[in-house]
Amino acid sequence: MEVAVIHTQGIDVEPIIGLEVHVQLHTRTKLWCGCPVEFGSAPNQHTCPVCLGLPGALPVLNHRAVELAVRTSLALGCTVARQMGWERKHYFYPDLPRNYQISQYARPLAQAGLFEFPHEGRIARIRIQRTHLEDDAGKHLVGDDGQTLIDLNRAGAPLLEIVTEPDFNTPDMACEFAVQLQRLVRYLGTSTANMQHGQLRFEPNINLRVWHDGVPLRTPIVEVKNLNSFRSLHAAIAFEINRQATEWQQTREVATDDNKRNRGWDDERLETVPQREKESARDYRFFPEPDLVPLKLSNLWLRDLHEHMPELPIPRSARVVHEFKVTPANAARLVDDRPTADLLDHAGEAGGDKPTLAKQFLGIWARHAKQRRTSIARLGISPGRLAELANLVASGQLNATAATRVAEAMLTGHTSPRELAAQLHLLQVDDEQQIAAWLDAVLAEHAQAVHDARQAGKKARAARGFLLGQVMQTSAGRANPQTVGRLLDERLRPEA
Ligand code: ZN
Ligand code: MN
């Protein structure tokens, strides 16, 4: 990995950052029972003997969750196991009614992936150590009166845990990965990844490489638990880098096998705070889940999932830059929402001029979507009509301002853009008689400019430009500028 030394708190440090991500998979029901996965229901509505951990209740695997986990892992470049097992991971906490989580420890779903994304003008390469399936815990809240409240609607919801290698060295880089990962799972349809609903949660592992008498050493690893916004992810990592640099100078404590620590994030004080000491693997007393058989995946099924993988956002952005002639930043905006990116492609396939389509998607259509708090795809305009509007502009029959008015009219009804432009008298006028009439009116009104334009040099060019502009204005931008220019030059020629 590349070295990135920064100077903070008076010393040189090299941040070493890894991420653990929990992605809630977009299934209808929970991982081990038929209870619905639903956010925002009344507390404890979606529970049954299985997810309440009642004695004798047996888990039954949700195969849809396996499929979504496999698709996500394949998109992250991982090798998916043909056979995997389940383990019980024990800990005692009020939101975990069974007192153990069913997870994958020794034989995870997938391993050894690689996720590449553009970052600060280069390609960041983050190795994925492993992904595994597990169930979520419930929610543990403290009521106004200090009472402990438990809501088990979420208990048993399917999670995909993604563990990266410690390949990040800045908060920016970790955040960009998080943004790209959210976009990826939404593209795949494997998670809605709504952070406000806790469907995408991050736990960065952070420590520093520091130098003591020229010898590289590492500060103890801190895991910041359960961050559910990009902002807090960024802030927590940045805070830890500074805090560990300061702590190092006071304690000279280095990382050992048993001094990894958990900290929480205080969103009001904007700092990390100590939490319970992190359990080591031994404390969790992992053992094979006796109520479940190992899971075998067929090669045929895996190949089928692989072949039906959609074009992923990052390669798609690169293609859009090339085909639609836009900047990488604009390409990222265009592909962000998959249905909208599909619509853009379909409008291109319908014969629309691609650079103009891209401009209109980024401008006119993005504005209308934003006003309606929706996506461009959901404005409900067909690819054919989008293509036609783009081509009216690309061919010079409609100017950009007029296109805005036609677009407005396109949002109600199904009239073609060309017809709308005609009805609104917005199509470009190439009728010489009409243009000559506008031109003569302008020339009569601006005798001084006409005089100046007939001289030579800079002043004459400025006067010509002024007259041309006046004609365009008189025609409300509709006159064909080439025809105006030609007729104007004819009239400015010295009288024979
Ligand atoms: Zn249940
Ligand atoms: Mn986990």
Residues 331-372: pLDDT tens digits? Answer: 999 999 999 999 999 999 999 999 999 999 999 999 999 999
Question: 56 in the Ramachandran plot: left (φ > 0), alpha (ψ -120 to 50) or beta?
Answer: left
Q: What angle do CA 317, 322, 326 make, to 5 degrees?
A: 75
| Centroid of ligand 1 to alpha carbon of 39 (angstroms) | 15
| Centroid of ligand 2 to alpha carbon of 127 (angstroms) | 18
Helix (H, G, I), strand (E, B) or coil at 44: coil
| Centroid of ligand 1 to alpha carbon of 197 (angstroms) | 19
| Centroid of ligand 2 to alpha carbon of 128 (angstroms) | 15
| Centroid of ligand 2 to alpha carbon of 34 (angstroms) | 22
Cα–Cα distance, 336 to 223 (Å, whole number)? 30
| Nearest CA among 213, 220, 214 for reference residue 240 | 220
pLDDT over 50 at 258, yes or no: yes
Reported as a single tens digit per residue, the pLDDT across 406-463 is 999 999 888 899 999 888 888 888 888 889 999 999 988 998 888 888 887 888 888 8
Report pTM.
Answer: 0.80
Cα–Cα distance, 487 to 275 (Å, whole number)? 80
| Centroid of ligand 2 to alpha carbon of 161 (angstroms) | 6
| Centroid of ligand 2 to alpha carbon of 191 (angstroms) | 16
The tokens 């399917």 sit on which residue? Answer: 158
| Centroid of ligand 1 to alpha carbon of 101 (angstroms) | 14
Ligand nearest to the CA of 50: 1
Ligand nearest to the CA of 152: 1
| Nearest CA among 402, 405, 333, 398 for reference residue 370 | 333
| Centroid of ligand 2 to alpha carbon of 135 (angstroms) | 8
| Centroid of ligand 1 to alpha carbon of 54 (angstroms) | 10
| Centroid of ligand 2 to alpha carbon of 137 (angstroms) | 10
| Centroid of ligand 1 to alpha carbon of 29 (angstroms) | 8
Ligand nearest to the CA of 91: 2
Ligand nearest to the CA of 33: 1
Cα–Cα distance, 187 to 490 (Å, whole number)? 58
Residue 150: how many CB atoms within 10 A of its CB? Answer: 15
Ligand nearest to the CA of 57: 1
Helix (H, G, I), strand (E, B) or coil at 444: helix
Own/partner contacts of 397-406, CB < 8 Å, gap of 24 or more, are: 397/421, 397/427, 397/428, 398/426, 398/427, 398/428, 399/428, 399/477, 399/478, 401/477, 402/426, 402/427, 402/477, 402/478, 403/360, 403/364, 404/364
Contact in structure between 237 and 169 (CB atoms under 8 Å): no
Tell me what pLDDT residue 185 has. Answer: 96
Q: Which two tokens stand for residue 407?
A: 């677009």
**Mean model confidence pLDDT for the chain:** 91
DSSP H helices, 113-229, are 171-188
Q: Which two tokens stand for residue 136?
A: 């979520």
Query: Cβ-count burial of 135 within 10 angstroms (0-12 exposed, 13-18 middle, 19+ buried)?
Result: buried
Ligand nearest to the CA of 22: 2
Provide the sign of the torsion angle of the four alpha carbons 284, 43, 228, 263, taken in this order: negative
Ion ligand 1 neighbours, Cβ < 5 Å:
33, 35, 48, 50-51
Reported as a single tens digit per residue, the pLDDT across 156-192 is 999 999 999 999 999 999 999 999 999 999 999 999 9
Structure confidence at residue 220 as a pLDDT band (50, 70, 90): very high
| Centroid of ligand 1 to alpha carbon of 50 (angstroms) | 5
pLDDT over 80 at 218, yes or no: yes
| Centroid of ligand 2 to alpha carbon of 22 (angstroms) | 7
- Cα–Cα separations (whole angstroms), residue 377 to 203, 346, 347, 374: 34, 11, 11, 8
